[in-house]
């Protein structure tokens, strides 16, 4: 099957061809015809399956086919994403596939100045890609009107719920017209996702294009047992001895990401860290330098697990295993994309044996273990408890050192509540942008 058979316009087919694509992925084959028919959709699709084009292409066609609105353009389509990086990635896809159409779009997220976004919105745009917190900032300042939205997309809906955005989402839904098309994409189907889908979607078409929590077969996985204090040494050795030129490394905490990046620099390996405490400008520069090859190692927290799209990324390293087993799948899904092979390496110390067991139970398979000569674990070292980081998940509700009472982090701030409501204010989650 080719894109020509899906009912897309000549302008969209031209944009697809410009990107070198000729055959749609499974999620695109199933989702595009459904969306073109104006039906609601509930799609189970992991990152790397082509889902962004799966909703962007038919959305652009439906908007361009509709009768043009005279005068100032109202916002006709809204795409919500959990992170800034994913918002920027989706906005880029909208621009790429809509280049031969007369539609306009913009992206709004926190961590950057709001005034340029306000100026752009005042010119009138058809499509807004946004993170929930900054979107509500605009609504509170009356710089954004959502009363004419025809299509709503919730991308990575499960991640948004994990990060504590459910109340923001409910506020946004209350601002939208009741008659609209709703598209919900999620990598997992939790009870919360099902409840949200029941309230949001009208007789949706269900598609599930990939086994959830199963990494692509193109990703080879290996465990290297090593003592906790020698992980950085082993990572530097592997990057240098195997001449890895582009490596995405995951840590559990922001402080750990900063420290590892600094240590790698001292080892002579160009490195940068990306996490929620970094300014948006710093995050954008670090990612751009990494994509250009100016930085060999990008050290990230799980904010990058579903927001980074890097062509032909060859290596992902779990410097520390995630506390939540499903995050392992999202992390290593950064490699082995678009038919390319990839390698996922995990450096596992004695403290992480339980986490490894959880991951292998999720995968329903054992991951091969290879001890690197010279880095054999010391059997006399005892396991130590792993501090649970707060990432907007159950059990992680300690307050961030960088948050004031009643205010989430700068990446997606909510408007402050009135003092009269202080008694009903819910606890601030520690980090919605870990």
Tokens of 139: 């609504």
Spatial CB neighbours of 93, under 8 Å, sequence gap ≥ 6: 52, 53, 56
Candidates 283, 337, 294, 330; CA nearest to 314 is: 337
Mean pLDDT of 51-60: 95
CB 125 within 8 A of CB 73: yes
- What CATH number is associated with residue 300? 3.40.50.300
Tokens of 342: 């990839």
In a domain, 76, yes or no: yes
Other Cβ atoms less than 10 A from the Cβ of 139: the count is 16
Can you give the pTM of this predicted structure?
0.66
On the question of pLDDT at 409 being above 60, the answer is no
* 25/16 Cα distance (integer angstroms): 13
On the question of pLDDT at 400 being above 60, the answer is no
**Residue numbers of the domain that contains 416:** 397-434
Banded pLDDT at 52 (limits 50, 70, 90): very high
* 186/93 Cα distance (integer angstroms): 18
- What string of H, E and C letters represents the secondary structure of 7-64? CCCHHHHHHHHHCCCCCCCHHHHHHHHHHHCCCCEEEECCCCCCHHHHHHHHHHHHHH
Tokens of 173: 């839904």
Question: Are 337 and 430 in a shared domain?
Answer: no
Q: Indicate the angle between helix axes 166-174 and 191-200, nearest 10 degrees.
A: 0
Question: Are 197 and 264 in a shared domain?
Answer: no
CB 76 within 8 A of CB 98: no
Candidates 345, 333, 334, 344; CA nearest to 215 is: 333
- Among 184, 208, 232, the domain-final residue is 208
* 409/400 Cα distance (integer angstroms): 8
pLDDT of residue 155: 94
- Among 178, 208, 238, the domain-final residue is 208
On the question of pLDDT at 97 being above 70, the answer is yes
What pLDDT, in 10s, does the model give residues 374-393? 999 999 999 999 875 544 44
- Note the Cα 5 to chain centre separation in Å: 30
Question: Are 191 and 240 in a shared domain?
Answer: no
Biggest distance spanned by C-alpha atoms of the chain: 75
pLDDT of residue 413: 41
Percent share of the chain, pLDDT over 90: 60
Number of domains in the chain: 3
What pLDDT, in 10s, does the model give residues 255-267? 999 999 999 999 9
Beta bridge partners of 311: none
Q: Side by side, which strands form the sheet with 219-225?
A: 219-225, 342-348, 315-318, 247-250, 297-300, 271-274
Tokens of 233: 């040494």
Question: Are 226 and 204 in a shared domain?
Answer: no
pLDDT of residue 392: 41
What pLDDT, in 10s, does the model give residues 164-196? 899 999 999 999 999 999 999 988 777 788 889
Torsion, Cα 23 28 34 35, to 10 degrees, reads: -110
Question: Are 183 and 237 in a shared domain?
Answer: no
Beta bridge partners of 298: 248, 272
- Among 314, 341, 363, the domain-final residue is 363
């Amino acid at each position: 099957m080719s894109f020509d058979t899906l009912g897309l316009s000549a302008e969209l087919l031209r944009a697809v061809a410009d990107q070198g694509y000729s055959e749609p992925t499974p999620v695109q084959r199933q989702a595009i015809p459904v969306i073109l028919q104006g039906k609601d959709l509930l799609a189970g699709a992991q990152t790397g399956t082509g889902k962004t084009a799966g909703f962007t292409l038919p959305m652009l066609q439906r908007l361009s086919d509709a009768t043009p609105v005279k005068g100032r353009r109202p916002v006709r389509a809204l795409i919500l994403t959990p992170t800034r990086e994913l918002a920027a990635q989706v906005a880029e896809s909208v621009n790429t596939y809509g280049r031969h159409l007369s539609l306009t779009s913009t992206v709004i997220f926190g961590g950057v100045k709001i005034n340029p976004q306000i100026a752009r919105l005042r010119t009138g745009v058809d499509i807004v890609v946004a993170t929930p917190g900054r979107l509500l900032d605009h609504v509170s300042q009356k710089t954004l009107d959502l009363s004419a939205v025809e299509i709503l997309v919730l991308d990575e809906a499960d991640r948004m719920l994990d990060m504590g955005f459910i109340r923001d989402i409910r506020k946004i839904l209350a601002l939208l017209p009741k008659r609209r098309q709703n598209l919900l994409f999620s990598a997992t189907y939790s009870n919360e996702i099902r409840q949200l889908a029941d309230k949001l979607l009208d007789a949706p078409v269900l598609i599930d294009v990939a086994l959830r929590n199963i990494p692509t077969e193109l990703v080879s996985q290996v465990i290297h047992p090593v003592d906790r204090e020698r992980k950085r040494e082993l990572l530097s050795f592997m990057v240098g001895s195997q001449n890895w030129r582009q490596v995405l490394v995951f840590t559990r905490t922001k402080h750990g990401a900063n420290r590892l990046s600094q240590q790698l620099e001292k080892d002579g390996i160009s490195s940068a860290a990306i996490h929620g405490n970094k300014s948006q400008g710093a995050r954008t520069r670090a990612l751009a330098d990494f994509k250009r090859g100016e930085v060999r190692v990008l050290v990230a927290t799980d904010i990058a697990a579903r927001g980074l799209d890097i062509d032909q990324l060859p290596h992902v390293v779990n410097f520390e295993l995630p506390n939540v087993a499903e995050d392992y799948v999202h992390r290593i899904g950064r490699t082995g994309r678009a038919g390319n092979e990839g390698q996922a390496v995990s450096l596992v110390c004695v403290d992480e044996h339980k986490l490894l067991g959880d991951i292998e139970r999720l995968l329903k398979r054992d991951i091969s273990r290879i001890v690197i000569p010279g880095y054999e674990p010391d059997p006399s070292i005892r396991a130590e408890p792993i501090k649970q980081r707060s990432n907007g998940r159950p059990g992680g509700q300690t307050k961030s050192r960088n948050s004031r009472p009643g205010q989430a982090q700068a990446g997606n701030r909510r408007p402050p509540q009135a003092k009269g409501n202080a008694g009903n204010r819910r606890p601030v989650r520690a980090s919605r942008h870990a």
